Amino acid sequence: MSEEFDYIIVGAGGSGAVLAARLSENPAHRILVLEAGPADRSLYIRMPAGFVKTVGNPKYVTNYQTKPTELTGGRAINLLQGRVVGGGTSVNGMAYNRGQPHDFDNWARAGNPGWSHADLLPIFMELEGREGGDPIWRGRSGPLKVTDVAWKSPVLDAFIEGCVENGIPRNADINGPDQFGVAFTQANIAKGKRVSAATAFLRPALSRPNLVLRTGLRASRVLLSEGRATGVEVIGPDGSARILARGEVILCAGAIGSPHLLQVSGIGRAEDLASAGICPVHDLPGVGQGLRDHYMVSLIAEGRNFTSINQYAAPPRLWFEALKWMVGGSSILGMPVALLHYFMKSGLNGDETDIQGIFTPASNRFSASGKLEQEIGMTCAIWQHRPTSTGHVRALSPDITVLPEVQPNYLADEIDRHVLISACRQTRAILRSAAMKPFFLRETGPSAGAETDDEWLSFARETGSTVFHPCSTLRMGPRSNGNAVVGHDLKVHGLAGLRVADSSIMPDIPSANTAASAMVIGAKAAKLITKR
């Protein structure tokens, strides 16, 4: 006999964790959360610097390698996505960036009432517990703690001054009314520990008897009957089983996982499904289309006259840092990936802030191994906010365990290439500023020899990677928009009992790291379902 719940949430990541916590506030609702990955119990998840141990670990992430193109130098890019309770918020760099107000106003203008910045700001505020900030813009009492990097180093002060020299002002709050400028990173860290969607929302809610979390179970198919989702089929260590939903099935499996699950369930572009050996059940051409992601390049430099994280991360200093972290002191083990964030304008999109950068006094930190160099080092990673290049996610088999084809088409649009070149030139100017002169020795990475636009583009093609922010593969919009998959109520067009509530529904990529927006989508979905 099949189990039955009122709501089945597929995915315990940022959006799913918040959604489950909010829905379970009503004791009349019996809710099941399915997570394909394991529990988030590892010390490396709690420890912010443990990022280097988890982000490439197949126990906690799935590597959806992208399809190579000429514009990525014929390389597949490792597009990692969290597969653990908390999802990306358990393995990411912990940066908390909402985006710019007009990001969300554009969502609303695309035919999605209720999704403007004015609509979403109160939700952002009720989720977050921010230390400081304008109370008109920032929430103080929410469970999602947001703190500023408190690490002191002369090179950080110098980099800020270098930004100011180059027309990038200090910004008291990059999550306030204007994002343009430079500031210490705002991060989901409290008392030296990572604050994930799981620790902030899901785990406290699991004390409620009406909320059930099951790990190690993967949804393999959405069950459909007469135009309605009736449950899910799951696979796990004990084989397959069916779980029924009296109310709704809600997909929170991410911008790759959610469209893939719909496709293997027979929902998507009919011809694509048929070519993968999948029997089409509901022809919905937008499923898996419109993929966008942030494409990043890193400028690496050797430094001098300061102690970089390279030195702190080597014994015996590392042992002292570990001791400080264990007793709750300030330590490199309690810091996010980036210590500074800076937001720039290319001038190619009017007066719009269209570039994001991060600065860390460490080098090789962004390599696959996470191993740092022995020399004093620093790294700037930069990307375009809202790329216009789009791609797809496409199932290759009816078997959910066969990874789909993922093609973001990085740098396919010419404007994306020019904005990234501008980002590189501006960042080099900051590194070579008068303020940075006492600390900057020379560029040491592959960017060092780039001067012309063609050389910068070659550098980007051969070395660029992703910031792991895929979105927009099940875009929200009115049914009259042939590319839309869900309406502003997040219901899948043409099917009952089925919603999507994760980064896949974003009509466009926000000008920020996507974790904050994903959590707000989960909270907004709960309001839509409960009509609060």
Structure tokens at 140: 């103080």
Q: Report the C-alpha gap between 433 and 473 in whole angstroms.
A: 41
Domain 150-184+295-384+409-468 indexed as CATH 3.40.50.1100 = no
Cα–chain center distance at 169: 26
Q: Which residues of 263-295 are buried (b: 16+ CB within 10 A; e: fewer)?
A: bbbbbbbbebbeebebebbbebebbbbbbbbbb
Strands 340-344 and 80-82: unpaired
Check: CB of residue 32 under 8 Å from CB of residue 214. Answer: yes
Q: Report the C-alpha gap between 308 and 331 in whole angstroms.
A: 13
One digit per residue, pLDDT tens: the chain, 532 residues?
579 999 999 999 999 999 999 999 999 999 999 999 999 999 999 999 999 899 889 999 999 999 999 999 999 999 999 999 999 999 999 999 999 999 999 999 999 999 999 999 999 999 999 988 899 999 999 999 999 998 899 999 999 999 999 999 999 999 999 999 999 999 999 999 999 999 999 999 999 999 999 999 999 999 999 999 999 999 999 899 999 999 999 999 999 999 999 999 999 999 999 999 999 999 999 999 999 999 999 999 999 999 988 888 888 888 888 888 888 888 889 999 999 999 999 999 999 999 999 999 998 744 444 566 778 999 999 999 999 999 999 999 999 999 999 999 999 999 999 999 999 999 999 999 999 999 999 999 899 999 999 999 999 999 999 999 999 999 999 999 989 999 999 999 999 999 999 999 999 999 999 999 999 999 999 999 998 7
- In this structure, the number of other CB atoms found within 10 A of the CB of residue 62 comes to 16
Residue 1: what pLDDT? 53
Domain locations in the chain as residue ranges: 1-147+195-291+391-405+470-532, 150-184+295-384+409-468
Catalytic residue numbers read: 469
Helix (H) or strand (E) holding 319: helix 317-326
37, 188, 219 from 237: Cα distances, Å: 12, 33, 13
Q: Report the C-alpha gap between 80 and 56 in whole angstroms.
A: 7
Residue 316: what pLDDT? 86
Q: pTM of the full predicted structure?
A: 0.96
Phi, psi of 141 (to 5 degrees): -110, 5
146, 401, 521 from 136: Cα distances, Å: 16, 46, 21
Q: Report the C-alpha gap between 222 and 409 in whole angstroms.
A: 29
Could you tell me which residues come within 8 angstroms of residue 233 by beta carbon, excluding any fewer than 6 positions away?
219, 220, 221, 223, 240, 241, 242, 243
CATH class of residue range 1-147+195-291+391-405+470-532: alpha beta
